[in-house]
Amino acid sequence: MESAQLQDIVFQTRRDIVRMVHKVNSGHPGGSLGCTEFMVALYNEIMELKDGAFDMNGINEDIFFLSNGHISPVFYSVLARKGYFPVQELNTFRLLNSRLQGHPTTHEGLEGIRIASGSLGQGMSVAIGTALTKKLNNDTNLVYSLHGDGELQEGQNWEAIMFASAKKIDNYIATIDFNGQQIDG
């Protein structure tokens, strides 16, 4: 994809984020806006994805897990603009009976979402388990995850990291949004 096309998707994604959060006066725009380039590049340039229908198992394709689920606006926008569901559905963000709630969930069958996220610290364990499964199944594709820097205070992350090291997990890439900000109290 050309640089101008990627820049256009970044611009559209940022516009989506601001519109979604402003419409309902609720959400986390900062983390979403700060991770826009990363998410657009990941889904449009880096990850190997299958064309066609979403496959929950992710066999023979790269898989992404959003651990810091509160930045769902960027995730929803990138998924919609990649074709997982209609862009018009972004207008339902955080509305009653919408599939696009404040934290992504799987119970409504939303394409592109493999886990419910929002309980900080759990995404890395799921991603590492998925990476191990891919290795055991001789699937050479990668697993990616995104985490907030404040989330690293959760001990579960460090236990997962030690497990990954012990099991020689080398098909997993965890990215940390190191922005030095977190909500406390």
Q: Encode pLDDT of 131-149 as tens digits.
A: 999 999 999 999 999 999 9
Mean pLDDT, range 2-31, rounded to an integer: 96
Backbone angles phi, psi at 116, to 5 degrees: -75, 130
Look at the block and give the residue holding tokens 């599939």.
99
- Give yes or no for a contact between 75 and 33, defined as CB atoms under 8 angstroms apart: no
Mean pLDDT, range 84-102, rounded to an integer: 96
Q: How confident is the model at residue 181 (pLDDT cuts 50, 70, 90)?
A: confident
State percent of the chain over pLDDT 70: 98
- Tally of helices (H runs) and strands (E runs) in the chain: 6, 3
* CATH top class, domain 3-177: alpha beta
How does DSSP assign the chain, residue by residue? --HHHHHHHHHHHHHHHHHHHHHHT-S-HHHHHHTHHHHHHIIIIIS---SSS--TT-TTS-EEEESSGGGHHHHHHHHHHHTSS-GGGGGGTT-TT-S--SS--STT--TT--S---STTHHHHHHHHHHHHHHHTT----EEEEEETGGGGSHHHHHHHHHHHHTT--SEEEEEE--S-----
Is the per-residue pLDDT at 113 higher than 90?
yes
- Helix, strand, coil percent content, the chain, rounded in steps of 5: 50, 10, 45
Q: What is the pLDDT of residue 184?
A: 66
Is the per-residue pLDDT at 155 higher than 60?
yes
Whole-prediction pTM: 0.95
* The length of the chain, given as a count of residues: 185
Delimit the domains of the chain by residue range.
3-177
Mean pLDDT, range 66-83, rounded to an integer: 96
